[in-house]
Amino acid sequence: MILVDALFWLLYGYLAVSVVYILLFAFFGRIIPSRKIPSATAFTRFAVFIPTYKADEVIYESATDALNQDYPKDKFEVIAICDKVQPETIEKLRQHPLTVLPVSFDQSTKSKSLNAAFNALEASKFDHVVILDVDNHMAPDFLRKINDCLQYSKAKAVQGHRVAKNLDTELAILDAISEEVNNHIFRKGHRALGLSSALIGSAMAFDYTFMKEVMAGVKAVGGFDKELEMKLLKDRYVIEYVPDALCYDEKVQKTDAFQNQRRRWLSAQWVYVSQNLLPGIKHFLLSGNVDYFDKVFQNMLLPRVMLLGLCGLLFGLSLFLPLPPSPQHWQSIFGLLVFTFLLSVPASFYNLNTLKASMLLPKTFLLIFKTLFKLKGANKTFIHTPHSTTPKKDA
């Protein structure tokens, strides 16, 4: 009985620390406004990388859409990196003023595609590189907003604000809310307190030469953005966040795609925790690298849906069973967690559609829970998320 009590106290401690941690950033992200960035006085030269894998219709739509930037046409170039794309699609793309780069690998990964593009292009042509997913559509002023931040902050790395392109199913709505919660806590909230923004994997911009050198050492099969941010923060580079640089991203609509996506993310999360836990502690204690240690700790947290589901479940059980520490303890952390979500979810999602979508929360909790038992080998296998052409809809 003592052992069981101790285990529940340990579980409570882990969950309580997790809730207080995200509440801290949610609160300060709400009360501290983002910095006002002045308009840049010059236009830097951008390479816009769009890697794709077996997504012919989507890459055509996204690459041609990327040409419609309110930015000097001679100051940016769209590069479609085409892995396993049909010859007819490549020919269609070549009818437009963009660069098409066919690639082929024994084992396809996003990091390999990006490195192939860096190796194929002349670095002196560009100042910065923007990395998109194949389904991403930049808002017309995206490059202008990113350019403003790069020139103002002199940062080597900048994360844009990725928002939902589609809200056509309940699962897509939940996925969109999940991303906005993460945007608020791990990007806006972190920058409000002087820590680096988290990277997402797309809608990101970097100093071109710097990124080419860093990416040469990135070998990730999945979750290349997590490996990348660990490298950057370990070397004390700050990652900026631009909340008004919008990039529209397709949200998952089917449960199998949702599970595969979360399996890829969770696998990468645990892999990079195991690789960076001891170095993170060492750098924190010996050199005061808070940013790197914070990133390691951040990756030790449960996904937000799992955290909500587990805290809610334990609170409910504590009302009927004598679970240590007490019902009041479980009620407190569950209440604080709900308050954290209320602070983090944009006002535009407070509607009837979101209420309907919330009925899916128990199912998504179970899907992610089941995924925890299927992580073995996921970081060694390329897990492709299928995409479709979806109309852009502001979140």
pLDDT in tens, the chain (395 residues): 788 889 999 999 999 999 999 999 999 999 999 989 999 989 999 999 999 999 898 999 999 999 999 999 999 999 999 999 999 999 999 999 999 999 999 888 899 999 999 999 999 999 999 999 999 999 999 999 999 999 999 999 999 999 999 999 999 999 999 999 999 999 999 999 999 999 999 999 999 999 999 999 887 766 788 889 999 999 999 999 999 999 999 987 677 767 677 777 677 788 888 899 999 999 999 999 999 999 999 999 988 989 999 999 999 999 999 899 999 999 999 999 999 999 999 999 999 999 999 999 998 888 888 777 666 655 555 555 555 655 554 43
Q: Please, which residues have CB within 8 angstroms of residue 124's CB and are 6 or more apart in sequence?
A: none
Same domain, 249 and 269: no
Please name which of 355, 362, 360, 171 lies closest in space to residue 256, comparing C-alpha atoms: 171
Please count the structural domains in the chain.
2
Same domain, 244 and 319: no
Q: 208-215 and 224-234 helices cross at what angle (nearest 10)?
A: 110
Same domain, 162 and 286: no
Torsion-angle region of 223 (φ positive above 0: left; ψ -120 to 50: alpha; else: beta) = left
Same domain, 153 and 81: yes
Same domain, 234 and 325: no
Q: Model's pTM, two decimal places?
A: 0.90
Burial of 190 (0-12, 13-18, 19+ CB in 10 A): buried
Same domain, 117 and 85: yes
Domain end call among 236, 254, 272: 254
pLDDT score recorded for residue 252:
76
Edge to edge, what strands does the sheet with 76-83 contain?
99-103, 76-83, 46-53, 128-131, 204-207, 157-164, 239-249, 137-138
Cα–Cα distances (Å) from 282 to 123, 289, 293, in that order, read 35, 9, 9
Burial of 256 (0-12, 13-18, 19+ CB in 10 A): exposed
Domain end call among 200, 230, 254: 254
pLDDT score recorded for residue 394:
42
Same domain, 107 and 71: yes
Residue 68 maps to which CATH number?
3.90.550.10
Domain end call among 212, 238, 254: 254
**How far is the C-alpha of 161 from the C-alpha of 149, rounded, in Å?**
13
Same domain, 124 and 177: yes
Q: Is the residue at 223 inside a domain?
A: yes
Dihedral of CA atoms 308, 310, 316, 319 in degrees, nearest 10, equals -120
Q: Is the residue at 216 inside a domain?
A: yes
**How far is the C-alpha of 31 from the C-alpha of 155, rounded, in Å?**
24
Q: Is the residue at 205 inside a domain?
A: yes
Same domain, 345 and 314: yes
Same domain, 83 and 198: yes
Contact status, residue 31 vs residue 193, Cβ threshold 8 Å: no
SS3 state at 321: coil
**How far is the C-alpha of 195 from the C-alpha of 29, rounded, in Å?**
12
pLDDT tens for each residue of 120-147: 999 999 999 999 999 999 999 999 999 9
Q: Is the residue at 40 inside a domain?
A: no
Q: Is the residue at 393 inside a domain?
A: no
Q: Is the residue at 168 inside a domain?
A: yes
Same domain, 215 and 143: yes
**How far is the C-alpha of 214 from the C-alpha of 115, rounded, in Å?**
10
SS3 state at 391: coil
Same domain, 26 and 104: no
Q: Is the residue at 149 inside a domain?
A: yes
For residue 247, what are the β-bridge partners? 138, 162
**How far is the C-alpha of 258 from the C-alpha of 386, rounded, in Å?**
10
Q: Is the residue at 391 inside a domain?
A: no
pLDDT score recorded for residue 255:
76
Domain span holding position 86 = 46-254
Q: Which amino acid is at 100?
A: V
